[in-house]
Amino acid sequence: MTSTRVRPRYAVAILLAALAALISWTGAAQAASALVWQSDFTNAGFNNYKSTPWNDVGAAAPVLVTSTVNAPAKAARFTVPGGGTRSEIEPNVVNFTEGADYYFGDSFTLPTTFPVNETSWQVITQWKNSDDGSPPEELKIGHGNVILDGGYGYPTGPAGSKYWTQTLAPAATAHQTTVVLHIHFSSNPTLGSIDAWVNGTQVLTGYHPVAGTLYPTAKKTRASTAQAAAQKAALAKTPQPKDTPKEPAASTDTVVTASKTSSQYDYWKMGMYRDNTLTSNTVYDIESARLGTTYAAAAG
**pLDDT tens-digit readout, 55-90:** 999 999 999 999 999 999 999 999 999 999 999 999
Q: How far apart are CA 176 and CA 167, in angstroms?
A: 18
Residues 6 or more apart whose CB falls under 8 angstroms from that of 161 comprise 154, 238
Peptide bond into 158 cis (omega under 30): yes
Q: pLDDT, tens digit, for every residue of 92-101?
A: 999 999 999 9
84, exposed or middle or buried, with CB in 10 Å at 0-12, 13-18, 19+?
buried
pLDDT digits (tens, 9 = 90+) for 16-37: 554 454 444 444 444 568 999 9
Long-range contacts (CB closer than 8 Å, 24 or more residues apart) made by 38-43: 38/288, 38/289, 38/290, 38/291, 38/300, 39/76, 39/91, 39/286, 39/288, 39/289, 39/290, 40/288, 41/73, 41/74, 41/75, 41/76, 41/286, 41/287, 41/288, 42/73, 42/74
Closest CA to 166 of 150, 186, 154: 150
Give the confidence band of 11 by pLDDT, cuts at 50, 70, 90: low
Q: How far are the Cα atoms of 1, 84, 286 from residue 81, in angstroms, in the given order?
A: 80, 5, 17
Residue 12: φ, ψ to 5°: -65, -40
**Short-list 242, 124, 128, CA closest to 178:** 124
For residue 112, give Cα distances in angstroms to 66, 106, 172. 17, 19, 9
Are the C-beta atoms of residues 74 and 90 closer than 8 Å to each other? no
Q: Where are the domains of the chain?
A: 36-299
Look up the pTM and report it: 0.86
Mean pLDDT check: name the lowest of 5-19, 160-174, 197-211, 269-283.
5-19
> Residue 7: what pLDDT?
54
- Give domain 36-299's CATH number out of 1.20.1630.10, 3.90.1150.10, 2.60.120.200, 1.10.760.10: 2.60.120.200
Spatial contact of 249 and 37, defined as CB atoms under 8 Å apart: no
Residues 6+ apart with CB under 8 A from 48: 37, 38, 39, 40, 91, 92
Write the DSSP symbol of residue 54.
Answer: G
